[in-house]
Structure 1
């Protein structure tokens, strides 16, 4: 008998081949250079980088490294907002936590308020009388010093001629004070000419969010439901609220028609100015950064 895991993986790999036809760079963006009417060339909002970024990650598309979770095929489509054209040959970093809220490189840093275990009642929001979830459960921000050399759920790619990068990953989990999200950074290559990442500068720092109904649905399955902490809803996440997160919600499709938990394709369009070095957004002192 063929295992469900093998079937799910086969569907995931098949979906990778079909991605170009389904979530390719939108035709409307290709035409934006002449019409400027699609709105896709307006600069995307900056979001904070958080404390878990690590430089010099692996150049790769599959970043799962065996981490379990709902398969996610993530397409980031880049637009050169200055010229209103696809942004080719840019460097895109992504990083996010696993299903239980842990980032590679920081596995010895306390990122969860409670150990793994059965999800308590009301786990998809603050319990009655909890008050400010961020202030009560969030640990102090780490200093950004890695505690290990693990690299799961981290990777780097260069955008193709259509401005696209595609990462094979899993749907992110959550941790105290933050809803489910994926970090990404766009860097414009320098003039070294040797294919290295040297000499580049950062043109955009963003975060990717997902519709609340979808996230609540996915968090009911393992391994996500084994995370005992109270999940911060999209509407209670400070980054989402204060840093224009509503404009950074990915569009998505299920890999098949049976269930979203079998896997998803998702796309976010980021319009950046490749000649600028914007300052990433920051929250006030005392707020949890991640």
Structure 2
């Protein structure tokens, strides 16, 4: 089931009247490209599940081994007001340097800043839902972006409009995988900690900012967030996390089981996050 919710309800949002035209344009793009016509395969549950920070990421990084009866496309979500893909003003996808694995630093003619925070490595495994999630989608592309430790988005938020860190594109390998080196995002008021991503049919489509096939979000387990937010620089995230849950978040409240990352690591040594993305 495709879900379209308002996103980033916090101090940097410009309000519903601002977001609706953006979301309307994005829905039209998906209709024209056929993305909204992709059917769900099987009957995978959207029921929320829990995940320990020590749980294995092997299932998510193996290329997908679910049967067709359990495989469904990743839930479609709003890209929010800060995508940086040209649908809401600025377009970072056409800039030289956006194709990269380390997204902690800004690139090009930007200010050249570096995002601080607990180290995080994110691996997404893109698989073919129609084949029962057993076939990796080699040669697809993923654009990934998220908030920084302070809950701000590069290119948009006050003080970092000249930065483009925590944004990057990669082409999937033979296993359908992309891996990004980043930092754990902060929790800003009104949203559960998350990462945005868009899937494209090819790297050429991604860098041309055209023909998005899927737009979704990755969620983090509660215990991981609680541990990360004990680290320096995340004090405001502790307060904000207490005000929201996966069950009340305006994106994940209708089911987050297929979007919840499996985690390894610690706040002192850094984390790895893995998620299988059927498309």
Give your verdict on TM over 0.5: yes
SS of residue matched to 2:240: coil
Q: C-alpha distance in 1, partners of 2:270/2:151? A: 19
Work out the number of aligned pairs and report it: 201
Query: What RMSD over aligned residues (CA atoms) do the two structures have, in Å?
Result: 2.6
Alignment of 1:71-90 (within 5 A): 71-84=119-132, 85-90=135-140
| Residues 50-69 of structure 1: per-residue CA shift (max 9 Å, x gap) | 11101233111000112111
Equivalent residue, structure 1, for 2:115: 67
TM-score relative to the length of structure 1: 0.62
1:202 aligns with 2:250: no
1:184 aligns with 2:226: no
Q: Conserved in 1, the CA contact under 8 Å of 2:139 and 2:202?
A: yes
Alignment of 1:59-138 (within 5 A): 59-65=99-105, 66-84=114-132, 85-108=135-158
Q: 1:152 aligns with which of 165, 180, 203?
A: 165
Q: Conserved in 1, the CA contact under 8 Å of 2:171 and 2:178?
A: yes
Equivalent residue, structure 2, for 1:235: 247
Q: 1:267 aligns with which of 259, 270, 274?
A: 274
Equivalent residue, structure 1, for 2:4: none
Q: C-alpha distance in 2, partners of 1:205/1:107? A: 22
SS of residue matched to 1:64: coil
- Higher-RCO chain (CA-CA 8 Å, sequence separation at least 6): 1
TM-score relative to the length of structure 2: 0.65
Q: Conserved in 2, the CA contact under 8 Å of 1:72 and 1:264?
A: yes
Equivalent residue, structure 2, for 1:118: none
Q: C-alpha distance in 2, partners of 1:226/1:176? A: 9
Q: C-alpha distance in 2, partners of 1:106/1:253? A: 31
Distance 1:227 1:184, change over 3 A: same
Q: C-alpha distance in 2, partners of 1:182/1:94? A: 7
| Residues 197-219 of structure 1: per-residue CA shift (max 9 Å, x gap) | 33841111111111111111211
Equivalent residue, structure 1, for 2:229: 219
Q: C-alpha distance in 2, partners of 1:24/1:249? A: 10
| Residues 121-155 of structure 1: per-residue CA shift (max 9 Å, x gap) | xxxxxxxxxxxxxxxxxxxxxxxxxx823101011
Q: C-alpha distance in 1, partners of 2:226/2:238? A: 14
| Residues 206-238 of structure 1: per-residue CA shift (max 9 Å, x gap) | 111111111112112211115585333333311
Q: Conserved in 1, the CA contact under 8 Å of 2:264 and 2:272?
A: yes
Q: C-alpha distance in 2, partners of 1:23/1:270? A: 12
Whose radius of gyration is greater, 1 or 2? 1
CA displacement at 1:27 relative to structure 2: 6.1
CA displacement at 1:196 relative to structure 2: 7.4
CA displacement at 1:106 relative to structure 2: 1.2
CA displacement at 1:267 relative to structure 2: 0.3
Q: Conserved in 1, the CA contact under 8 Å of 2:199 and 2:215?
A: yes
Distance 1:261 1:180, change over 3 A: farther
Q: C-alpha distance in 1, partners of 2:167/2:233? A: 19
Q: Which runs of 5+ in 1 are unaligned?
A: 1-20, 110-146, 273-290
Distance 1:71 1:196, change over 3 A: closer
